[in-house]
Amino acid sequence: MSGRIIETRDLRKTFEFGDVVVHALRGISVEVPTGQFVAIIGKSGSGKSTFMNILGCLDRPSSGTYRLEGRDISDRSADERAELRSEQIGFVFQAFNLIPRTSALENVELPLVYGGVSRSQQHIRGLEALDRVGLAHRADHHPSQLSGGEQQRVAIARALVNQPRLLLADEPTGNLDTSTSGEIMQIISELNRDQGITVVLVTHEPEIAAYADRVLTFRDGEIIADAAQLQPLPTSPAPPAKAEMSRDVAEESA
Ligand SMILES: Nc1ncnc2c1ncn2[C@@H]1O[C@H](COP(=O)(O)OP(=O)(O)OP(=O)(O)O)[C@@H](O)[C@H]1O
Ligand SMILES: [Mg+2]
């Protein structure tokens, strides 16, 4: 399905404790077309994670609407949101949030355990997801036996195992060094480009935001900039293929 996967209208979120009121989101209206790769940047405390948690159905807005694939889910119950989340959304966090003393494969299978998927199907799909992040050979390792980058790849595999249409990543490279961050971004870019998964990713680093098609800048709970980014053309073999195609077309019309 094409069209808009995300549509928010005047989304607001207020946290109150005692006399203190925090306006974490002050009217976020944004539309994300299916298949887009969006980066969100902005200072600490600007509302990025609050927004992501609402997009990921982990939290509800105080007011405003959120439509996910055309369905208004602003006022769905916790159970309904959990179901939507497991069907449509993969979430990756800065802290990898893997279960310790449990194998990579079991971590990845976890979202399937409650979904009525047979044990053998869980294994097949878990291994497929690990393979997509290049970690099938580490299926039996526990998180403590994996590098930070590998742990984040397991977390991405877990986010993918339900074949979500939307991948949300809140500072997925925040705990990783530069070259490992690059590997993680390659994987996320490929999921977006090759499988059409819509990506919304929060980052503090301009080099990470550079992977996206579009950058939203948050400040004090508002979007203060919304900029499209040109992506470099894919490297070979795409250019030769295009050249051949145009030659064919030229011959046909000759
Ligand atoms: N559960 C909560 N209860 C109270 N206040 C909260 C809660 N979550 C967030 N806030 C406040 O809302 C504002 C936005 O927080 P948020 O976590 O969305 O910022 P952020 O842009 O993700 O920051 P960072 O870059 O540091 O992760 C902050 O002032 C924060 O203190
Ligand atoms: Mg945050």
> pLDDT tens digits for 1-36?
569 999 999 999 999 989 999 999 999 999 999 999
Question: pLDDT of 138-190, one tens digit each?
Answer: 999 999 999 999 999 999 999 999 999 999 999 999 999 999 999 999 999 99
Report the predicted TM-score, pTM, of the whole model to 2 decimal places: 0.89
Q: Which CATH number fits domain 4-253: 3.30.70.120, 2.40.160.20, 3.30.360.10, 3.40.50.300?
A: 3.40.50.300
Q: For ligand 1, is residue 48 a contact (CB within 6 Å)?
A: yes
Q: Which pair of structure tokens corresponds to residue 68?
A: 């996910």
Cβ 50 under 6 angstroms from ligand 1: yes
Distance 246 CA to ligand 2 centre (A): 47
Domain spans of the chain? 4-253
Q: Is the CB of 200 under 6 A from ligand 1?
A: no
Atom of ligand 1 nearest to the CA of 52: 18
pLDDT of 74:
81
Predicted confidence band of residue 75 (pLDDT cuts 50, 70, 90): confident
